[in-house]
Amino acid sequence: MDRNYSKLDRLISSVDEALRITTGEAPAPFRQNPAGDIEPQELDENDRRHVAGLMRINHTGEICAQALYAGQAATAHDDATREAMQLAAEEEIDHLSWCEDRLKELDSRPSLLNPFWYAGSFAIGAIAGIAGDEWSLGFVRETENQVEAHLQDHLGKLPEGDSRSEAILDQMKKDEAKHAKMAADAGARELPPPIRRAMAFTANIMKTLATISTVGLSQKARLSLWVEKPPIATVLNA
C-alpha cells in the first residue's frame, strides 16, 4: 500500500540521506561510469594534484546538488515537481559516485567541508521550494546552466590525455543541460539578475574552499579559480 509522506517524514528522510552522503561513500550509481574501460593516462605529480583539485570541486558540487534537490523536493507544492526533482537527484547520484571513483584513482579524497555545504544547500533548496514551484524550477534551471558552464571550463583545464576525467565531465555536462531543459519545460521562472549573481558568487567561494580544503594541492588548481573570476567580481559585474 502506498503511503503519503508528510513534510516531516520527508525532512527526516533528508537528514538521514545527508548523513549517509556526507560522511560515507557515495551511493551506488544507477548508470555505468562513463570512463568505463578507458586506459588511465599516467600523470606526473603536479598534474595529478591539479586534476584531483578539479574533481574535488566537482564532487562538492554534486554534494550541493543532492542537497538542493532534497530541499526542493521536501517543500515542493506539486507532486509532479517533486518527482522531477527526485529523478534529477538520481542522475546527480551517478555524478557523485563517478567523481568519488576518480578521486580514489587519483589517490585523493573529497572535501572536508562537504557537510557544511550540504546543510547550506539544503536550506536554500527548501526556501526555493517554499517560494513556489515555478521559482524552484527557475532556481534549478539557473543552477544547471551555471554548472554546465563550469564543467565546460574544467574540461578545458584537464591535462592532455586525461581521457578518464574527460569522459566523466562530458557526460555530467550533458546531464546538466538536460536538467536545465526539464526545468524550463516544466515552467521555470527567470531569476532576477541579482539572484543569479549571488548564486555565482556563492559557487566561486565553494570552489575555492573545496580546492584548498586538502593540504598539498597544486597552486595551479587553487589560483586558476581566482585569476579568471574572483568571487567579488561576480557580484560587481552587471
Any domain includes 3: no
Q: How many domains, in total, are found in the chain?
A: 1
Q: What does the pLDDT average to over 160-183? A: 94
Any domain includes 27: no
Pair 159, 51: CB distance under 8 Å: yes
All cell numbers assigned to 76:
515542493
pLDDT of residue 214: 47
What is the pTM for the complete model shown?
0.78
pLDDT of residue 79: 80
Distance CA 69, CA 86 (A): 7
Pair 75, 92: CB distance under 8 Å: no
What digits encode the pLDDT tens for the residues 28-86? 888 999 999 999 889 999 999 999 999 999 998 888 888 888 888 888 788 877 777 77
Pair 167, 38: CB distance under 8 Å: yes
Any domain includes 33: no
CA angle 192–59–164, rounded 5-degree value: 120
Pair 201, 235: CB distance under 8 Å: yes
pLDDT of residue 152: 94
Confidence band (pLDDT; 50, 70, 90) for 221? Answer: very low
pLDDT of residue 236: 30
Any domain includes 31: no
Distance CA 124, CA 75 (A): 11
Question: Length of the chain in residues, anyone?
Answer: 238
pLDDT of residue 7: 60
pLDDT > 90? residue 220: no
Any domain includes 146: yes
pLDDT of residue 222: 44
pLDDT of residue 52: 93
Q: How many CB atoms lie within 10 A of CB 166?
A: 18
Burial of 3 (0-12, 13-18, 19+ CB in 10 A): exposed
Angle, helix 133-155 to helix 45-75, in steps of 10 degrees: 170
Q: What does the pLDDT average to over 79-100? A: 83
The fraction of the chain above a pLDDT of 90, given in percent, is 30
Any domain includes 39: no
Distance CA 142, CA 27 (A): 26
All cell numbers assigned to 101:
571513483
All cell numbers assigned to 139:
532556481
Any domain includes 18: no
CA angle 61–115–98, rounded 5-degree value: 40
Q: What is the CATH number of the domain that holds 59?
A: 1.20.1260.10
Any domain includes 57: yes
For residue 211, what are the domain limits?
45-236
Closest by CA position to 182, among listed 82, 88, 91: 88
Cell numbers 570512463 correspond to: 35
Which stretch of 67-81, 91-105, 133-147 has the lowest confidence by average pLDDT?
Answer: 67-81
